[in-house]
């Protein structure tokens, strides 16, 4: 075991602050990674503030961060896919049972015995796992991803959650050339969804509450942009979408978007607001529409996403910040004031 620097929250109401945490020494199949960049996901904020208490109570101290990108510093004797000096990335999962039906299918995100990167029971050291707002991390190589060398590192980190979480349902629901795809909420997830749907050659329509994001939405790849408060603009799209991805982090009227689906259209929730959303039965019945959800993606598909981004040169639009600005960044994220993902430069942690 060794100690590494990190930022943690001591309670649901405490700001994140400098600390040290234990990490295991790499065992046979482990990869030790020096973290260079870590994205800030809205899930970090939900969890740290215990907003998901009913499903996933936070354990304190809590070290968030699951958009991890870094360089390999050490590997265990049984590791075959990584060498010291390689780029490496870790997303939301660091372990699973590898034996259940989901794991066998390469869908580790559904494993009933999965270990999340933070706030899951730590099988090695006891207590809970600690995430990427830290100097280094040690992860079994099965859960470590390869990063295409052409990608900007700060912008590639968010692919590990925002990227895969939007890519996976779009692949599952058949987003391809010519499909009409809506993206609700132009935040970290939403802006990745726009870039990826555009790269998949879909016709992309962004729904935003922020009129100031209209031009950005087009630059990111949207064919049309709708300010969702404008009822006339919304009505024009009634019954026309094949697929809508809802990436909103707070209470909102999902019924307004269900009306926009065509027959057999699907709306998938990736946003995870604290409170339940109201769904009208007739919004689904008429049109045989479906509503579903989707969590991150499996390891195989996450690598596929990274390779896809490598070949299309896709990264997140990031504002790089030092770790000392993380609390300020959380405040700005809540005001939808981030263009479009914060990526923490972990070198800033060395001065703590
Ligand atoms: N399913 C999964 O596996 C998974 C993975 C990662 C994250 N998530 C969840 O996905 C959600 C989005 O995460 P993120 O990191 O992309 O967050 P984010 O960067 O804060 O983006 C959320 C966006 O939602 C819109 N929004 C915020 N408040 C709103 C309100 N009151 N009404 C309507 N729209 C509002 C804003 O877009 P506009 O300004 O364009 O309106 C905002 O930019 C979070 O709940 C997060 O926990 C889920
Ligand atoms: Zn996330
Ligand atoms: Zn499993």
* Full pLDDT tens readout for the chain, 352 residues: 999 999 999 999 999 999 999 999 999 999 999 999 999 999 999 999 999 999 999 999 999 999 999 999 999 999 999 999 999 999 999 999 999 999 999 999 999 999 999 999 999 999 999 999 999 999 999 999 999 999 999 999 999 999 999 999 999 999 999 999 999 999 999 999 999 999 999 999 999 999 999 999 999 999 999 999 999 999 999 999 999 999 999 999 999 999 999 999 999 999 999 999 999 999 999 999 999 999 999 999 999 999 999 999 999 999 999 999 999 999 999 999 999 999 999 999 999 9
- In angstroms, what is the span from residue 97 Cα to ligand 3's centroid? 4
Phi, psi of 11 (to 5 degrees): -160, 175
Three-state SS annotation for the chain = CEEEEEEEECCCCCCCEEEEEEECCCCCCEEEEEEEEEEECHHHHHHHCCCCCCCCCCCCCECCCCCEEEEEEEECCCCCCCCCCCEEEECCEEECCCCCHHHHCCCHHHCCCCEECCCCECCCCCCECCCCCECEEEEEHHHCECCCCCCCHHHHHHHHCHHHHHHHHHHHCCCCCCCEEEEECCCHHHHHHHHHHHHCCCEEEEEECCHHHHHHHHHHCCCEEEECCCHHHHHCCCCCEEEEEECCCCCCCCHHHHCCEEEEEEEEECCCCCCCCCCCHHHHHCCCCEEEECCCCCHHHHHHHHHHHHHHCCCCCEEEEEHHHHHHHHHHHHCCCCCCEEEEEHHHHHHC
Q: Residue with structure tokens 């009913």? A: 54
Ligand 2 centroid–CA 280 distance in Å is 28
Q: Tell which one of 207, 213, 218, 249 to mutate to probe ligand 1, the residue whose CB is within 8 A of the most ligand atoms.
A: 249
Looking at residue 156, its pLDDT comes to 98
Q: Are 46 and 115 in contact (CB under 8 A)?
A: no
Angle at 195 between CA 189 and CA 197, to 5 degrees: 95
CA 74 to chain CA centroid, nearest Å: 26
pTM of the predicted model, to two decimals? 0.98
Pocket of ligand 1 (CB under 6 A): 41-43, 46, 161-162, 165, 185-190, 208-210, 213, 247-252, 270-273, 294-296, 333, 336, 338
For a ligand 1 pocket test, name from 38, 40, 42 the mutation site with the most ligand atoms within 8 angstroms of its C-beta.
42
Q: How far is the CA of 110 from the centre of ligand 3 (A)?
A: 7
- C-alpha 66 to ligand 1 mean position (Å): 16
């Amino acid at each position: 075991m060794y100690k590494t620097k990190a930022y943690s929250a001591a309670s649901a109401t405490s700001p994140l602050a400098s600390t040290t945490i234990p990490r295991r020494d790499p065992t046979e199949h482990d990869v030790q990674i020096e973290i260079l960049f870590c994205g800030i996901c809205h899930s970090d904020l939900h969890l740290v503030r215990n907003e998901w208490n009913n499903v996933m109570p936070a354990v304190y101290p809590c070290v968030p961060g699951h958009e991890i990108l870094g360089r390999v510093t050490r590997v265990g004797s049984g590791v075959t896919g990584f060498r010291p000096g390689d780029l490496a990335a870790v997303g939301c999962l660091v372990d699973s049972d590898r034996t259940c039906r989901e794991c066998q299918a390469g869908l580790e995100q559904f494993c009933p015995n999965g270990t999340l990167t933070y706030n899951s029971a730590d099988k090695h050291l006891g207590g809970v796992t600690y995430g990427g707002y830290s100097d280094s991390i040690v992860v079994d190589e099965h859960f470590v991803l390869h990063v295409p060398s052409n990608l900007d590192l700060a912008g590639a980190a968010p692919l590990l959650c925002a990227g895969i979480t939007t890519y996976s349902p779009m692949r599952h629901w058949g987003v391809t050339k010519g499909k009409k795809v809506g993206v609700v909420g132009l935040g970290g997830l939403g802006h990745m969804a726009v870039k990826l749907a555009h790269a998949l050659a879909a016709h992309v329509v962004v729904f935003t509450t922020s009129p100031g994001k209209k031009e950005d939405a087009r630059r990111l790849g949207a064919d049309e942009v709708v300010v969702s408060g404008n009822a006339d603009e919304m009505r024009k799209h009634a019954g026309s979408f094949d697929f809508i991805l809802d990436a909103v982090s707070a209470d909102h009227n999902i019924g307004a978007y269900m009306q926009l689906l065509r027959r057999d259209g699907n709306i998938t929730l990736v946003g995870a607001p604290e409170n339940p959303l109201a769904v009208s039965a007739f919004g689904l019945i008429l049109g045989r529409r479906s509503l579903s959800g989707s969590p991150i993606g499996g390891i195989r598909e996450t690598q596929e996403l990274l390779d896809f981004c490598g070949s299309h040169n896709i990264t997140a639009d990031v504002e790089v910040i030092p770790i000392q600005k993380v609390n300020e960044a959380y405040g700005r994220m809540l005001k939808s004031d981030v263009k479009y993902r914060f990526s923490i430069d972990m070198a800033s942690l060395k001065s703590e």
